[in-house]
Structure 1
């Protein structure tokens, strides 16, 4: 499946748009259920912090295939929820799920021309770490939020607190020294530093920034074979350039690692996130 970006993409987000509106986004769209299951443990604290009320208008940033958008819409009824994402493939999946008080936008939340004060709550589950210019992005989101409205963000803590990624990377390394995703750059650890979070949100016009440590296991599937197929497909680029025998060894190491984490609930690896809440100036 291919799709075309609608609306403007900030040049700072061009690489993210290429990935999410390309093969990476297509993989997420095709495996939406697996991705939702992986992070489902974070939904209760996220929505508790959001405290969505009937009649609210919610913006879901990096909405993916729309599960969080639909849940926000259900809680906000007779209000509404809008999901925005760079990925056309994921937006298509979200749109097929329907919902009377839900709409989706394929676009770049960093520069999208939302109406001023359009939303009561800006919500994002692991989507706010990828902005090329987070200061501009949060300023745009703050402008789109009514005075006294809220932002509620779930973002990953640093690699040292997320063994799920460290163990997967180690298993697929096959003896290579693979660099970790950098903290503070667009990517999974773009908002890993609480000091940076406070500076960015404060500079964008948010007040009362609160950051809570939340930890839940990520579930990669009901059994090692299912988890292995899911992770190996997602991270196939990590072994694409290896010779066949080395690639086979790396994939076998991945399977062994996932099997070691098989529990009665499925294959689970530990993770840690920051749950960030902030208020726009009233």
Structure 2
């Protein structure tokens, strides 16, 4: 049994979610998430420029694919994965042990305030882990303190909702015909770092320079066939579907299944997606 981590008050809801039902959902589907991100994964590691002796910090590491692959590259260094979800971290540790990666470690912590030490890491990376901080300015400043001057901070984040066909489509269908407001820009949502001007401001104020944002747009994998993708997507949008009455829920489910079938290819179910690859240097 591990101690409950200290969590900033602005991240309390995120901790409850990720160390609860949301974390359990993604733990059960960790392989699916890695499959979906496969087109972006190599670009993230390449941008990080990890060396054989690098020390790496992985923010929001989830089940640890980035942490483990970074540890493999940095055989003479080390990689530390940090996440709020105890179940995802248990899986990450098990996979690292199975792969005999003795230089990969994992800790349950709130990266917004956790004391990582001063200038401890050469590189910080994050794949979908930095969009959910309650106070992104404080989080980036804390991460900056942990990176040595000249070190890199590389993130992969979603671009705006209208550039992401899959999430936009699933969200619209699961709303049951209700008009949904756009995701609030300051709230901890997948799209909180989609505005390049806002990202540059946050990183500059936190002590980063040479900020580059590269557009990575490619189809994203959701399942090997219609039923496989349907199970994954309905699980992900279960809360929204539960809010509908029986008639609208049935209509939404039929519409979703039909839309998934229209996106079935010889490589599985694919929807358009767009990410930012954010690269910055610690001053």
Partner residue of 1:257?
Answer: 259
Q: Give the Cα separation in 1 of the matches to 2:135 and 2:186.
A: 11
Aligned match for 1:15, one of 13, 16, 19: 13
Contact 1:158–1:183 under 8 Å retained in 2: no
Partner residue of 1:184?
Answer: 186
Matched, 1:228 2:226: no
Structure 1 residues 255 and 4 mapped into 2: Cα distance closer, same or farther (>3 Å)? farther
Q: Map of 1:200-219 to 2, 5 A cutoff?
A: 200-219=202-221
> Any gaps of 5 or more consecutive residues in structure 1?
none
Aligned match for 1:78, one of 58, 76, 79: 76
Q: Give the Cα separation in 2 of the matches to 1:168 and 1:100.
A: 40
Partner residue of 1:95?
Answer: 93
TM-score by length of 1: 0.96
Aligned match for 2:51, one of 50, 53, 60: 53
Q: Give the Cα separation in 2 of the matches to 1:164 and 1:4.
A: 37
- Secondary structure class of the residue paired with 1:18: helix
Question: How far does residue 145 in structure 1 lie from its aligned partner after superposition?
Answer: 0.5
Contact 1:172–1:253 under 8 Å retained in 2: no
Matched, 1:134 2:132: no
> Any gaps of 5 or more consecutive residues in structure 2?
none
- Secondary structure class of the residue paired with 2:32: helix
Q: Give the Cα separation in 2 of the matches to 1:135 and 1:244.
A: 42
Q: Give the Cα separation in 1 of the matches to 2:78 and 2:63.
A: 17
Partner residue of 1:195?
Answer: 197
Question: How far does residue 4 in structure 1 lie from its aligned partner after superposition?
Answer: 7.1
Deviations 1:116-173 (A, max 9, x none): 1111000001111111111110110010001110100111111111111111112222
Q: Give the Cα separation in 2 of the matches to 1:163 and 1:140.
A: 33
- Superposition RMSD on alpha carbons, in Å? 1.3
Does 100-109 or 248-257 show the bigger shift? 248-257
Contact 1:80–1:102 under 8 Å retained in 2: yes
Aligned match for 2:66, one of 57, 65, 68: 68
- Secondary structure class of the residue paired with 1:110: coil
Deviations 1:12-64 (A, max 9, x none): 11111111111011000011111111111101211111111101010000000
Q: Give the Cα separation in 1 of the matches to 2:40 and 2:253.
A: 28
Partner residue of 1:274?
Answer: 276
Question: How far does residue 181 in structure 1 lie from its aligned partner after superposition?
Answer: 2.3
Contact 1:37–1:219 under 8 Å retained in 2: yes
Partner residue of 2:150?
Answer: 148
Question: How far does residue 5 in structure 1 lie from its aligned partner after superposition?
Answer: 6.4
